[in-house]
Amino acid sequence: MILRSLFLGIAACLLALTCAAQALDDPAEEARAQSLMRELRCVACENEPISQSSAAIAEDMRARVRVMISDGASDAEVRDWFESRYGEFVLFRPKGKGLEGMFLWGAPFGLLIIGGLIAFGVARRRQAGAAAAEPVAPEDV
């Protein structure tokens, strides 16, 4: 599948590059292309996605996204293609694979659970005296 779209992509490349600076005709495909452009990093810029950069390479990369999308590639295939070509660096959405990836994506939710458990534990410890807690309406905040 990847190979096929790759091949088609290259075959259509010369023809398409001339017009790919323009939006795709199908609005749904264009929307997908634009959201992909926002998460691919321009390789020649400081810290910009290709959707924002005015560098020539970013324009080529945008054209490539549109060509692949119009050839029926899925979002994952587009991301994989760019990763194999330019390395992990171009993905603003880092991969969740491997130990580091799991840490990066898991840590926020892990911390949330740990924080919740700690808060719960503190509240539980106070539960003994809390039965006597009287509701007091806040006077201002």
Residues that bind other proteins (CB under 8 A): 21, 23, 34, 38-39, 41, 46-49, 51-52, 54, 87-94, 100, 104-105, 107-109, 111-112, 115-116, 118-120, 122-124, 126-127, 129-141
Q: Kindly provide the b/e burial profile for residues 60-90, where b requires at least 16 CB atoms within 10 angstroms of the residue's own CB.
A: ebbbbbbbbbbbebeeebbbebbeeebeeeb
Residues 24 and 3: their CA atoms lie apart, in Å, by: 22
Least separation, in Å, of the C-beta of 12 and other proteins?
20
Q: Which is nearer to other proteins, 8 or 91 (CB)?
A: 91
Least separation, in Å, of the C-beta of 111 and other proteins?
5
